[in-house]
Amino acid sequence: MASVDTLITTAPGDTCAPDLADGPWTFDLGTPGYGPGASMGDIIPTGSPRQGALPAEYQRANNDELHDRIRAAKAALGRRVVVLGHFYQRDEVVQHADFLGDSFQLANAAQTVPDAEAIVFCGVHFMAETADILARPGQNVILPNLAAGCSMADMADIDSVEECWEQLTAIYGTDADESGRVPVIPVTYMNSSAALKAFCGRNGGIVCTSSNAATVLEWAFERGQRVLFFPDQHLGRNTAKAMGIPLDQMPMWNPRKPLGGNEPDALADARVILWHGFCSVHKRFTVDQIEKARAEYPGVRVIVHPECPMPVVDAADEAGSTDYIRRAVAGATEPTTFAIGTEVNMVNRLAAEYPQHEIFCLDPVICPCSTMYRIHPGYLAWVLEELVAGRVTNRISVDAAVAGDARVALDRMLAAKPRVA
Ligand code: 13P
Ligand code: SF4
């Protein structure tokens, strides 16, 4: 199967934005925004990192030239550099990654290369921040395009979360119950700023990923009467529902409204307070798409990411993190038809890697994550050649005080273990 880049340029009618065919540098100097792709409709917060102009030589170079330059720069740098690539990156970038994985695996990978002076993170901003928090002192974490943010992560900012916390503290107080559980434990999804991870570290909370959300919620309920879960309402709802928590005990917190838009009674009974955030990539998947796949491919195995809305997760056969999806496909011993609800670059790569199976994306429109899309081989060649020249470009550096508290919340996650039945 052709890469998503090739499909975009050869079949532009089937994409969500025709300007995906342009290089992402076209958008670096325009109005601040996420660029074309699934999250282009979301509002980018003021103060989001901006990428300056990519030097013209990288914009003009064709793919073959860029690949040669990337390989040459990596060879010159040797073990001084490691390139990490997230599953949602385009194939043109993934082929240069030393490690490919989900956000959690890549954060761990960053820790396994203490000799590397530079970690080039082909992913999005919160992932590079996490790598910097976990990296050894002196290692430089580099994000090839600074505009590669995450619209979901941007839906919860530290000021709104602090304000929410004040309101919740006014309602619930700070006293533990008779079994020692505090009123609220804050839980942040990995897809959040370092400031929010630090908030959790300071306030008895923890980080989770889509692969350990249930374990982390169990950890939180051992220590707290209820959970404030941000920024992804869908991961929070899907995970808590699977644990048996009724939907009417999961009020949503809209940061633009007093008490998050809730009546005090609804909050009194709450077990999980869900922040009003979502992923625009996973919001595209629908129950109709699943029904169509089942009608057209009897016996199809439908797997979706838990960032999808609850009705989609309920209608699927399975839901799991990007690594769960990869393992499900890799582990299928009989030829199988898979309909997958996650980012299209990953789905098409699985289809190419496992030709014995029929694998397709539930969404018929090619619509990559618009911020993952901001990383292009041109930026990778640029930051690597800058390193060869002795210059560190696009360094992501988390303030030491923030990093210290964020590390506490990340370490709690790393230490949390699933309950043994
Ligand atoms: P993973 O945690 O599975 O890498 O997913 C990150 C992400 O952004 C999903 O949309
Ligand atoms: Fe963020 Fe969604 Fe893109 Fe993941 S897929 S980086 S959650 S916008």
Residue 354 and residue 385 in one domain: no
Query: What is the position in ligand 1's atom list of the atom closest to the CA of 343?
Result: 10
The pLDDT of residue 108 is 85
pLDDT in tens, 93-122: 999 999 999 988 998 888 888 889 999 999
CB-ligand 1 contact for 345 (6 Å cutoff): no
| Nearest alpha carbon, ligand 2 atom 3 | 369
CB-ligand 1 contact for 321 (6 Å cutoff): yes
Say how far apart CA 342 and CA 283 lie, in whole Å: 10
Determine the distance separating the centroid of ligand 1 and the alpha carbon of 143, expressed in angstroms: 17
The pLDDT of residue 12 is 64
Say how far apart CA 296 and CA 287 lie, in whole Å: 14
The pLDDT of residue 30 is 83
Determine the distance separating the centroid of ligand 1 and the alpha carbon of 175, expressed in angstroms: 35
The pLDDT of residue 206 is 98
Query: What is the position in ligand 2's atom list of the atom closest to the CA of 39?
Result: 8
- Of the candidates 96, 130, 136, the one whose C-alpha atom is nearest the C-alpha of residue 112 is 136
Residue 308 and residue 377 in one domain: no
Encoded amino acid at 218, one letter: E
87-99 exposure pattern, b = at least 16 Cβ within 10 A, e = fewer: bbbbbbbbebbeb
Residue 173 and residue 274 in one domain: yes
More confident residue, 19 or 417: 19
Does the pLDDT of residue 75 top 60, yes or no? yes
Query: Could you tell which of 371, 373, 374, 375 is best to mutate to test the pocket of ligand 2, judged by most ligand atoms within 8 Å of the CB?
Result: 371
- State whether residue 22 is helix, strand or coil: coil
CB-ligand 2 contact for 396 (6 Å cutoff): no
Average pLDDT over residues 162-187: 97
Q: How confident is the model at residue 222 (pLDDT cuts 50, 70, 90)?
A: very high
Query: What is the position in ligand 1's atom list of the atom closest to the CA of 86?
Result: 4
Residue 54 and residue 95 in one domain: yes
Query: What is the position in ligand 2's atom list of the atom closest to the CA of 232?
Result: 7
CB-ligand 2 contact for 235 (6 Å cutoff): no
- 182 occurs within a structural domain: yes
Contacts with 199 (C-beta within 8 Å, 6 or more apart), sequence order: 158, 161, 162, 165, 186, 188, 205, 405
Determine the distance separating the centroid of ligand 2 and the alpha carbon of 20, expressed in angstroms: 17
Residue 50 and residue 85 in one domain: yes
The pLDDT of residue 420 is 63
The pLDDT of residue 421 is 53
239-257 exposure pattern, b = at least 16 Cβ within 10 A, e = fewer: bbbeeebeeeebbbbebee
- 131 occurs within a structural domain: yes
Nearest ligand by distance to the CA of 101: 1
Q: How confident is the model at residue 3 (pLDDT cuts 50, 70, 90)?
A: confident
| 405: enclosing H helix or E strand | helix 400-415
Encoded amino acid at 119, one letter: I
CB-ligand 2 contact for 190 (6 Å cutoff): no
How large a percentage of the chain has pLDDT more than 90? 88
- Of the candidates 4, 26, 23, 22, the one whose C-alpha atom is nearest the C-alpha of residue 14 is 4
331: which DSSP letter?
A: T
Residue 274 and residue 393 in one domain: no
How large a percentage of the chain has pLDDT more than 70? 98
Pairing of strands 182-189, 140-142: unpaired
CB-ligand 2 contact for 89 (6 Å cutoff): no
Query: What is the position in ligand 1's atom list of the atom closest to the CA of 104?
Result: 2
Determine the distance separating the centroid of ligand 1 and the alpha carbon of 8, expressed in angstroms: 23
Residue 264 and residue 190 in one domain: yes
- 50 occurs within a structural domain: yes
Residue 147 and residue 158 in one domain: no
Question: Phi then psi for 108, rounded to 5 degrees?
Answer: -65, -40
- 116 occurs within a structural domain: yes
CB-ligand 1 contact for 210 (6 Å cutoff): yes
Does the pLDDT of residue 57 top 60, yes or no? yes
CB-ligand 2 contact for 152 (6 Å cutoff): yes
More confident residue, 47 or 337: 337
Say how far apart CA 348 and CA 399 lie, in whole Å: 38
Average pLDDT over residues 183-208: 98
Number of H helices, E strands in the chain: 18, 13
Number of domains in the chain: 3
Residue 236 and residue 272 in one domain: yes
pLDDT in tens, 244-286: 999 999 999 999 999 999 998 889 999 999 999 999 999 999 9
The pLDDT of residue 124 is 98
Determine the distance separating the centroid of ligand 1 and the alpha carbon of 243, expressed in angstroms: 21
Average pLDDT over residues 20-49: 91
- 110 occurs within a structural domain: yes
- 10 occurs within a structural domain: no
CATH of residue 160's domain is 3.40.50.10800
Query: What is the position in ligand 2's atom list of the atom closest to the CA of 150?
Result: 1
- Of the candidates 263, 185, 261, 260, the one whose C-alpha atom is nearest the C-alpha of residue 226 is 185
Residue 147 and residue 239 in one domain: no
Inter-residue contact 262 to 253 (CB < 8 Å) = yes
CB-ligand 1 contact for 130 (6 Å cutoff): no
**pTM for the model:** 0.96
| 290: enclosing H helix or E strand | helix 287-296
Range of the domain at 291: 282-361
pLDDT in tens, 345-384: 999 999 999 999 999 999 999 999 999 999 999 999 999 9
Residue 176 and residue 98 in one domain: no
Determine the distance separating the centroid of ligand 1 and the alpha carbon of 59, expressed in angstroms: 28
- 406 occurs within a structural domain: no
**Average predicted confidence (pLDDT) for the chain:** 95
Residue 348 and residue 242 in one domain: no
The pLDDT of residue 10 is 79
- 1 occurs within a structural domain: no
- State whether residue 341 is helix, strand or coil: strand
